[in-house]
Amino acid sequence: MFKLVKRLTSVVAMFAVLFTFTTETMAAKKSKTLKNTQKKGFVRCGVSQGLPGFSNADAAGNWTGVDVDVCRAVAAAVLGDASKVKFTPLSAKERFTALTSNEIDILSRNTTWTLSRDADIGLTFVGVNFYDGQGFMVRKNSGISSVNDFKAGVSACTNLGTTTELNMRDFFNSKGIKYEPVTFEKADEVVAAYDAGRCDTYTTDKSGLAAQRIKLSNPDDHMVLPETISKEPLGPVVRQGDSVWEDIVRWSLNTMIEAEEYGVTSANADMMKTSDNPAVKRLVGAEGELGAALGLDNEWSLRIIKQVGNYGESYKRNIADTGILPDRGPNELWTKGGILYVPPAR
């Protein structure tokens, strides 16, 4: 009997410890994520399972892409080293759960910003790093040259759990066309099935189509239809409820875009410290105390530009030079006819 009481006490004690631990985490300081990241020494970043130009790993396991660069920028700002990122490849299905359940701290995985995602499931979108839209890829010899050429019975391959699935329905419904959706969990299977002829068309974001086309057995036999059937603003996502971390990610991205606007590049960033333009000086940390507001030192933005480069450099390196989408389209600065426009860093 005595033994039992003793055992019981230890069980109760264990629970007490667990409960205190929970309450402690609940009342954690302002930015738990920032604190944890600095303690761990790396940024935990969720990326795709392989989308050239956005997030793609080479044979040696080095990740590149514009989505990858967002996480690298945060690592440069917070930890001082853009290489201190741990990448977790996630399927479309897993991505939000991974973020809300604390497995990653930034989700930078060509994810469309929508109201329900932003408001409903404990996520916050911090900005847009690529303006995209959904399109269709077809075989050139099919004679289909526009989305108006689709006929009832058409089968469309796509990724499951994406906005693509919903847009596709809206689109075919508005045209009154009965279609067959074939949805796979992984992009590689979508490509393989379309390539084999299972589907008449492959639909996803146009950047994705351009990137995946390279993987087809004869890329030249396929083309992307001119129409865009939806708005797909893609951007990084963080957990709801940590506004400091949210600001850090948002302004890391904004810094890259603003740096391009002011002509600050990884090559000339150090020299820009002596620039005459106060906006440029603020950007490289030579004026103002912007870092302090984010809980960082004043060189955070300089490190981003020096180690990762500005948005234009990142785009050129990952998307233009790889032949995916040489034309920047809407992803050009507002001053050059695009729609990239970020609030001023001041």
Binding residues for another protein, per CB under 8 A? 4, 8, 11, 15, 18-19, 22, 26, 92-93, 96-97, 100, 116-117, 120-122, 138-139, 141-144, 149-151, 153-155, 157, 160-162, 165-166, 168-170, 173, 179-186, 189, 192-193, 196-198, 200, 239-241
In whole angstroms, what is the distance from residue 109 CA to residue 128 CA?
Answer: 12
Q: How far is the CB of 99 from another protein (least distance, A)?
A: 9
- Residue 106 forms beta bridges with which residues? 45
Residue with tokens 């997030």: 55
What ranges in 183-329 are assigned the alpha helix state H? 187-196, 206-213, 243-261, 278-283, 290-293, 300-307, 311-315
In whole angstroms, what is the distance from residue 330 CA to residue 251 CA?
Answer: 21
Q: How far is the CB of 170 from another protein (least distance, A)?
A: 8
**142 CB neighbour count, 10 Å cutoff:** 13
**Which residues, 6+ apart, have CB-to-CB distance to 77 below 8 Å?**
248, 252, 255, 294, 296, 300, 301, 303, 304
In the complex with another protein, the residue whose CB is nearer, 4 or 59, is 4
Q: How far is the CB of 156 from another protein (least distance, A)?
A: 9
In the complex with another protein, the residue whose CB is nearer, 12 or 214, is 12
3-state class (DSSP) for residue 80: coil
3-state class (DSSP) for residue 163: helix
Q: How far is the CB of 70 from another protein (least distance, A)?
A: 21
In the complex with another protein, the residue whose CB is nearer, 104 or 154, is 154
Do residues 184 and 157 lie in contact, with contact meaning Cβ atoms separated by under 8 Å? Answer: yes
**Torsion sign over Cα 166, 171, 177, 183:** negative
Q: How far is the CB of 103 from another protein (least distance, A)?
A: 13
In whole angstroms, what is the distance from residue 91 CA to residue 231 CA?
Answer: 21
In the complex with another protein, the residue whose CB is nearer, 172 or 315, is 172
- Residue 223 forms beta bridges with which residues? 138
In the complex with another protein, the residue whose CB is nearer, 3 or 289, is 3
In the complex with another protein, the residue whose CB is nearer, 170 or 321, is 170
Q: How far is the CB of 127 from another protein (least distance, A)?
A: 19
Q: In angstroms, what CA-CA distances link 24 with 17, 29, 100, 242?
A: 10, 9, 19, 16
Q: How far is the CB of 295 from another protein (least distance, A)?
A: 20
Q: How far is the CB of 100 from another protein (least distance, A)?
A: 6
In the complex with another protein, the residue whose CB is nearer, 215 or 273, is 215
In the complex with another protein, the residue whose CB is nearer, 76 or 168, is 168
